[in-house]
Structure 1
């Protein structure tokens, strides 16, 4: 049985957060465990959810805590699944390399972190800019070919690529 929500309007922010955590952590952990089928990953994602809440808006402003926590947790869950897919793809590609060419465990970790950062950066781009960048970088298409594939002008492709390259430079900083 869930604990009743207690009004938090007169409390300090730390007390608000503590109350939110106390009242809803168990429920959120169970909800995530049902989605993941794994208590350890669910605990990690519940922790990440509360960290994001702590870094975000004032807890006292949250009218529907479970709905809000669910929304935040879903976003974290999507990111988690994307990262797992990225890691799986990387490990599959790595398995195809001869053992002598495989990077060390430390380099593998660095590569995975970099891939996750690039993936997150690409998600900030508009869809057409992301597509143009990926067609250029992964398929080696020339700008004219990208314009034809995307059904847009050459100047639009140049604009998309500029957006993508600026995002890459920002990531490098």
Structure 2
């Protein structure tokens, strides 16, 4: 069940850190901690738990670097990208929360097609087979979902 959020979480953390390798480490550690704490029992909110765990790991790493700045960089690392600044991280988290709210507000069939396409990476043909609808209808659902996201995200910038 948790595997379905891997790529989504990895992309989010990579945008937050500016480094895909660091993001992979954080996501792997997040999964390890969630699985260790819950064992075979799936958590009630697996996605939220994974995001919270990953965010807390980033905070812990940042604090560690603040306490021991001499260990923050090794010979192969560069300073963190501006995307690691706390203000940008918070803004990215707020944007993600807004985007997820928009997706949650889509009509059920539109949301299903959009999530399968954008988050799960399925092709329109695979989605059409899974949902029992035409490829054309899948494409319409995806377009409607993207338009709703674009419209909703554009509206967040205005006070």
- Tell which structure's C-alpha radius of gyration is larger: 1
Q: TM-score, normalised by structure 2?
A: 0.47
| Bigger relative CO (Cα 8 Å, ≥ 6 apart) | 2
